[in-house]
Chains A and B, each alone.
Chain A
């Protein structure tokens, strides 16, 4: 137990020494903090409250990030939007990561026909351009945050399956796996106790990158009116509301835009840093995915 704790500390220390990883970690922590405040409803004002006397007010001491067309406080809406983004992103990545990794491990370990069938299925999913697939899924299922989470999960499923399957192929040939099998361990114990711990590095990296893509996609879907529905606050919705007013009230566009950028950048940098720290051999791979 103590051994594990020191190892984890070592990882954190190495991550904080990695410049981009440290920057990413800070951004992600800031995002999580803001999102947590949003989840708990800790906003300076109610995000939907309209101050009609202060419509389209520029940033000031009273409204630090300004107000929108209905006099709603942009700072409060950003905070509550962070919670929406986080919820969608985490739901999506948990679904995609859990199922995708399970399928990938199964395919890699079973090999043969199972592998072939599963991976061809994943190839079919992968053949659809990512954002297009997400769009199609959301329009078919109907707009809303939970459906956009599902859409994002479906898009990311084949990527997790591939990332999990690759290392399983090499790990399953190693002696300790053979030894575990010779000892008569059931396949599920071999997979969970001996294979899974040895393929977590690329999966963790992928989780971070997937979160960044999920944030971006949630914003894009909401922008198009397919994700979170107004009047609920979401960064994408706020951006799309800012569009006709961009010349009169640029702060309506700038702050949600910056928020999306910071969140996406954070998870991206963190994923990159984790990759360097966890497995230097992985550097540069999956970068295009």
Chain B
């Protein structure tokens, strides 16, 4: 087990290095740099930056140095000082922009995962144990529908319903009066009354996918001899199902938990734009479009590192559960 963990840590570390290089290359790829587009924007407004001023800014942002030097500077600052650089567009440190947004993103994601699991697992189990019953067909139908509806469309529809039926705007995470208020119970309740919409919107596709996976896994398990044995010894059907096959069928979920979090960060981007959520997605989109490279790079890096950590955790959990994996 120890050797397994060490090997996994090494792989994870190597992947992180590779990803930091890729993230850096991505933000370097577009032709021109932030200053070129900044100067172009100013020129559009009839304002010309002098060559001198441009050169000055280029030096202060470190844009004139060779590529590897810039990479090591960038990574070095992050690893040694937790400094992701300054946002070129907002002119404040990247750290000030992203962390509270990452907080909200994680909040939405965790509540979405909870929503998905509490809905999908019971339905999946029901579908499998009552295979080909009307309930199973209904669940399967809605499962496919949930997978096929683009989540940004679901967001639009919910907003429309919210407006035309309840006469309220459902975007955002807070009502205007609470947005900048300090935290108290009322603000928390206000948050909960807004949170369910992104939760449902983002969770629908995941729920649908999970119902199908759960159903398929359960169908594989409930025909196994050990289930027959448990039934033969007289265990009540309901307890039997939840005690044995469900636990085995849940196994593959652990391997996807690692992807769940970052996948949701990505999936939330569009929903967040539609619903006007204070999450990381809209900022990433904006920073990419305006070539705000330190901000974009920081977000890409953090999200990818989250994926690696998630995968690492799920690998360890799988190894703990299944000895075949750790002895491989």
Measuring CB to CB, which residues of chain A are less than 8 angstroms from any residue of chain B? 20, 120, 123-124, 127-133, 135-136, 139-140, 212, 216, 219-220, 223-224, 239, 242-243, 246-247, 250, 253, 257, 260-262, 264-265, 268-269, 283-284, 287-288
Contact = CB atoms under 8 A, between A and B. Distances in A.
A242 B308 CA distance: 38
Nearest to B262: A129
B15 A123 contact: yes
Interface string B144-186: 1101111011001101100110000000000000000000000
Contacts of B29: 140
B240 interface: no
B289 A265 contact: no
B216 A283 contact: yes
B304 interface: yes
Interface in B291-328: 296, 300, 303-304, 307-308, 311
A268 B148 CA distance: 8
B1 interface: no
A265 B288 contact: no
A132 B269 contact: yes
Contacts of A283: 216
Given A132-B284, A140-B30, A264 B147 contact: yes
B285 interface: yes
Contacts of B216: 283-284, 287
A201 to B, nearest CB: 17
Given A246-B156, A260-B153, A269 B144 contact: yes
Contacts of A243: 156, 274
A31 B16 CA distance: 42
B213 to A, nearest CB: 5
20 contacts: A20-B144, A120-B14, A124-B15, A128-B22, A131-B266, A132-B284, A133-B266, A135-B288, A136-B296, A139-B288, A219-B150, A224-B273, A243-B156, A253-B160, A257-B150, A260-B148, A261-B148, A264-B148, A268-B147, A288-B256
A223 B152 contact: yes
A211 B200 CA distance: 25
A9 B289 CA distance: 50
Lowest 6 A-B CB distances belong to which pairs? A284-B216, A129-B266, A265-B148, A132-B266, A139-B288, A131-B266
Contacts of B122: none
A264 B150 contact: yes
A268 B205 CA distance: 13
B156 A288 contact: no
Contacts of A250: 160
Contacts of A120: 14-15, 18
B263 A130 contact: yes
A127 B149 contact: no
Interface in B203-234: 209-210, 212-213, 216-217, 219-220
A79 to B, nearest CB: 19
A242 B152 CA distance: 12
A180 to B, nearest CB: 29
A180 B74 CA distance: 53
A20 B157 CA distance: 26
Contacts, number: 130
Nearest to B29: A140
B241 interface: no
Given A283-B216, A284-B220, A128 B304 contact: yes
A135 B269 contact: yes
Contacts of A224: 270, 273, 285
A120 B17 CA distance: 12
A269 B284 CA distance: 33
Interface in B232-282: 252, 256, 262-263, 265-267, 269-270, 273-274
Contact of A131 (B149, B153, B269): B269
A247 B265 CA distance: 29
Contacts of A257: 149-150, 153, 156-157
Interface string B25-56: 01001100000000000000000000000000
Given A124-B18, A253-B160, A132 B303 contact: yes
Contacts of B159: 246
B97 interface: no
Contacts of A135: 266, 269, 284-285, 288
Contacts of A287: 209, 212-213, 216
A223 B270 contact: yes
Contact of A124 (B19, B157, B217): B19
A243 to B, nearest CB: 6
Nearest to A219: B150
Contacts of B303: 128-129, 132
Given A239-B153, A265-B145, A131 B267 contact: yes
Given A136-B288, A219-B150, A220-B150, A131 B270 contact: yes
A123, A130, A224, A284: most-surrounded residue (chain B CB, <10 A):
A284
A264 B220 CA distance: 27
A219 B154 CA distance: 13
A260 B213 CA distance: 23
Contact of A130 (B266, B273, B284, B288): B266
B150 A216 contact: yes
B144 A265 contact: yes
A271 to B, nearest CB: 11
A139 B256 CA distance: 28
Nearest to A235: B150
Contacts of B19: 124, 127-128
A132 B26 contact: no
Interface string B4-21: 000000000011001100
